[in-house]
Structure 1
Amino acid sequence: MPRPVEGGDIDPSSMFGVILLSGGARRARRIVLAFDSASEADAFAVENHYVDYLVAPLSFLSPTGVRGLR
C-alpha cells in the first residue's frame, strides 16, 4: 500500500518491492525491487507463482552528513 503523506494523501513517488518469505518463521529470503505501484509488484509475484510474499513501499535512507553528488 502506498505510504500516506501529510494530509492523508498517497505519495505518488512511492516505489514498491516484493518480499519473498520462507518457512514458518516468515523470514525474508529474497527482496525484488522496484515497482512503480503496489499492483505491479503484486502482479509480478502472481506471474512468478510466489505463494508466501508481501508487497511493501520502499524507503531509501542516507546517513546524515553524507554530501549529495553533483
Structure 2
Amino acid sequence: MGTLLILGLLTGLAALIGALLNLNFLLSGSLGLNPLMLTLSLLIFAAAAVAGWWGLDGWLWVRRVRLPAPEHAS
C-alpha cells in the first residue's frame, strides 16, 4: 500500500486500506502516531479525486477505454 501511495496509483484504495489498518491498530490500544496517520489517510482518501494531477492515477484514467453513450430510441 505504501508503494501505491508513493507512485500515486490507485491512491484512494490504498489510502482507505491504510486508514482501516491504522484504525485497527488504534482500537487495539496502540497509540503512538496512529491517530495522526489515520487522519492523514482519511485526508488522502478524500483528496483521491485530484490524485491524477501528480501521480499515475491520471495516466491510468486517461488510457482507460471509454464506451460510447447509448443512443435513445425515439
TM-score interval w.r.t. the shorter chain? under 0.3
Higher-Rg structure is 2
Which has more helix, going by share of residues? 2
TM-score, structure 2 as length reference: 0.26
TM-score, structure 1 as length reference: 0.27
Which has more strand, going by share of residues? 1
